[in-house]
Amino acid sequence: MQDKSDLLLFIGRFHPLIVHLPIGLLSLQPVLELAAWKFKKPGLDTACRINLGLCAASAVGAVLIGLCLASNGSYGGDSFALHKKLGIALAAVLCLAACLRSLSREERKPLAAWGLTALGLGLLTPVGHMGGNLTHGPTWLTEYSPAWLPMPGKEAPKAGAAANAWLDTVKPILQKNCTECHSGKEAKGDCNLEDPKLLLAGGKSGKPGIVPGQPEQSEVMRRILLPAGHPDAMPTEGKKPLSGDEVLALSHWITSGALFDAAKAGEEIAPAPAALQGLVAAGAYLRPYSEGSPLLCADFTRPGCKLAEALAALPSAAPRIAELKLARSALSDADLEALPVLPELSVLDLAGTAITAKGLAALSRQPKLRTLNLAATTTDDSSALGLAGIKSLRRVNLANAKLSKNGAIELRRARFGDEAITVICPAPVLKLSDKSNWTIVKVSSEETNFNLGAYPARQAIDGKPETLWTTRFAGGHNDPPPHELILDLGDSTIFQGLKLLARQDGNPNGISAKIEVFVSDDPKVFKDAIIVAEPWKGAPDAKAWLPLRDVRFPQIATGRYLRLVFSADIRGNPWATLAELDLIQE
């Protein structure tokens, strides 16, 4: 259904067409007047009158149609108001001039009419220019002006470190495609896409123009992506749609938060492209650490990456590197020593490289290094222990490195507590006897909360020094000592003592102060203790309690069942733990 305003608008859209009629006629007027004055032919004088009359009539028509166009309120602002006022004034001037001209006598010069015509011609330029700006946008004339011609409001695009996503990429795209209509106070649909605030706010529809981070919620993107022919589609019918790259650029800019501020976005958060150019040229693979983060993950190991060049280019990109992958590359100690301080580096992958203690020592300069992958390197005990000095370090992968049996333990021990390091490494090799036929008859307390990583009693006899038995502790449920553990050795056994291995993770909890040992052939009946052992008495720290402790009995013991009773631990806490248990048999 068409209503009145639609009809007015239909007529109104002929304004840009009709308006050229008075312009043409008015431009012709001085020529006719000049000819009439010079050749003094009556016909020419009549032509002047008719032409000016037609000119005035068409000007009035153009004004009326123009008012129709403005009737739906889609135009506004100072520039429009002035265009309207001057346009009406121009039509009035021309009407007056036409009247005077038609009343003028042939023998007298029509000076008043000439004066008004000249005034009309003078008004024509600003009115026309303003009209043009309303239709084509304020940059229409200057947009393609040659560089040597200085133009107001036109700046040279910036590049390199000074570049800013909004000013140098997004705004130019909008200026090219949108701001012809959507800028200034006369913006169509009250939608001004040049001013950041107004761009975010959107136009008459009430929907936000840009929702930072969400292109799909942004009205600007919605309209750009609508198919041509849809009433809401932008740019309007007949104008060139945005190119795919332009749409992508807008979309990326919105997704990344739609930042306008060069000072905030450009210097700190958004990268200065020049800083990364070196890495890119060297063939390094860069990807954002995660959404919304200015940091990067850099990979120097992909085919085509020139390691030396990439390392040389690292300093300028240093503040932005969060992860660095150098695994299996030709990295040398010297390279690692020359590595700049990377203030945000948290993950460093050096697996399979030829680095040694010398290079690793240089890593202490990296303030936030958290995860270090040294798998398949020649890292040995001493260089691993050196890593304990990197206070930020929380995880080291030393699988397949050259650690001795206790290297990892030493490293863990050196950093036991709040700043503990998780060390990934093969289990230390200890010579332990086969206990596959042993079983647990009874245990008074064991931690079996699987979600915590459980510590059941069978881990004390599983042959693995890295696993342990602990009494209950999860959730504050401590069982009071003494704790009892009864083992079935499978068959009646003759032995001279026990080998006890304390927990190997450096944790001092549950290192028993006293262990009573009983041996019997009946799991229900144990007579006197064969020994009351204090294997870790006087051990000042983990270093002293880590090795296997021999507990020799005063006499040879014989029996199938072994009963151990654990007191409180050496610090008076209620827990008992044991990593491994062996027999001394000679």
Partner 1 sequence: MNPFQFQQQLHSRRAFLGNSAMGLGSLGLATLLGQQLNASDSHGGLAGALPATHFPAKAKRVIYIHMLGAPSQHDLLDHKPLLQSLDGKKAPRSILPERSAFLNTNPNPPLILGSPFKFEQVGGNGLWVSELLPHFKTIVDKTCVIRSMQTDQFNHAPAELLLHTGFPVQGRPSTGAWVTYGLGSENSDLPSYMVLLSGSNLPAGGTADFGSGFLPSVYQGVRARSKGDPVLFLSNPEGMKRDDRRRHLDALGALNQETLKDFGDPETATRIAQYEMAFRMQASVPEVMDISKEPQSVLDAYGAKPGHGSFANNCLLARKLCESGVRFVQLFDWGWDSHGTGPGDDLVHALAGKCKQTDQPVAALIKDLEQRGLLEDTLVVWTGEFGRTAVMEARGGNITFKGRDHHPGCFTSWIAGGGVKAGTVYGQTDEWGQKVVENPVHVYDFQATLLHLLGMEHTRLTYRFQGLDFRLTNFRGNAVKGVMS
Q: Which is nearer to partner 1, 153 or 303 (CB)?
A: 303
Q: How far is the CB of 466 from partner 1 (least distance, A)?
A: 9
Instruction: Kindly give the pairing relationship between strand 347-349 and strand 321-325.
Output: parallel
Options 71, 400, 404, 496; binder of partner 1; rule CB under 8 A:
400
User: What is the CB neighbour count within 10 angstroms for residue 142?
Assistant: 13
For partner 1, give the closer residue by CB, 28 or 399: 399
In sequence order, the β-bridge partners of residue 29 are none
Q: Which two tokens stand for residue 580?
A: 């491994």
* Contact string 248-267 vs partner 1 (x = CB under 8 A): xx--xx-xx-----------
- Closer residue to partner 1 in complex, CB, 169/496: 169
Q: Looking at beta carbons only, is 43 or 244 nearer to partner 1?
A: 244
Is residue 42 close enough to count as binding partner 1 by CB under 8 A? Answer: no
The reply on whether position 150 binds partner 1 by CB under 8 A is no
Bridge partners (DSSP) listed for residue 497: 552, 584
The answer to the question of residue 310 lying near partner 1 (CB under 8 A) is no
Toward partner 1, which CB reaches closer, 86 or 501?
Answer: 501
556 in Cβ contact with 496 (< 8 Å): yes
Angle, helices 78-103/42-70, rounded to nearest 10 degrees: 150
Q: Which span (30-38, 445-453, 547-555, 556-564) binds partner 1, by CB under 8 A?
A: 445-453
- Note whether 198 and 234 are within 8 A (CB): no
Token pair, residue 143, equals 């947009």
DSSP 3-state of 136: helix
The smaller minimum CB distance to partner 1, of residues 69 and 336, is found at: 336
**Residue from the set 51, 373, 470, 471 that interacts with partner 1 by CB under 8 A:** 373
Q: Which residues between 188 and 217 bind partner 1 (CB under 8 A)?
A: none
Question: Among residues 206, 240, 208, which one has the least CA distance to residue 224?
Answer: 240
34 vs 162 by CB, closer to partner 1? 162
CB of 359 vs partner 1, minimal distance in Å? 16
CA dihedral of residues 132, 133, 134, 140 (deg, nearest 10) = 100
Binding segment for partner 1 (CB under 8 A), chosen from 239-247, 382-390, 559-567, 576-584, is 239-247
Give whichever of 103 and 354 is closer to partner 1, judged by the CB atom: 354
Interface with partner 1: number of residues (CB under 8 A): 70
Report in angstroms how near the CB of residue 213 gets to partner 1 at its nearest: 11
- Binder among 97, 331, 375, 423 for partner 1 (CB under 8 A): 375
Q: Does position 585 bind partner 1 by CB under 8 A? A: no
List of long-range contacts for 79-88, beta carbons under 8 Å, 24+ apart: 79/130, 79/133, 79/134, 79/184, 79/185, 79/186, 80/130, 80/134, 80/185, 80/186, 82/130, 83/127, 83/130, 83/131, 83/134, 86/123, 86/126, 86/127, 86/130, 87/62, 87/63, 87/127, 87/131, 88/63
**Binding of residue 237 to partner 1 (CB under 8 A):** no
Which lies closer to partner 1 via its Cβ, residue 117 or residue 467?
A: 467
Give yes or no for a contact between 582 and 432, defined as CB atoms under 8 angstroms apart. yes
CB 237 within 8 A of CB 228: yes
Q: Which of 212, 352, 386, 463 binds partner 1 (CB under 8 A)?
A: 352
Q: Least separation, in Å, of the C-beta of 552 and partner 1? A: 31
- Between strands 515-520 and 347-349, the pairing is unpaired
* Residue ranges in 447-506 that form contacts with partner 1 under rule CB under 8 A: 448, 450-451, 453-456, 458-459, 467
x/- track of binding to partner 1 for residues 319-338 (CB under 8 A): -x-x----xx----------
Residues with Cβ within 8 Å of residue 255, at least 6 apart in sequence? 213, 214, 215
Do 298 and 325 meet the contact criterion of CB atoms below 8 Å apart? yes
| Cα–Cα dist 246/42, whole Å | 62
Positions touching partner 1 (CB under 8 A) are 159, 163, 165, 168-169, 225-228, 244-245, 247-249, 252-253, 255-256, 270-271, 273, 276-277, 280-294, 296, 299, 302-305, 320, 322, 327-328, 349, 351-352, 371, 373-376, 397, 399-400, 424, 448, 450-451, 453-456, 458-459, 467
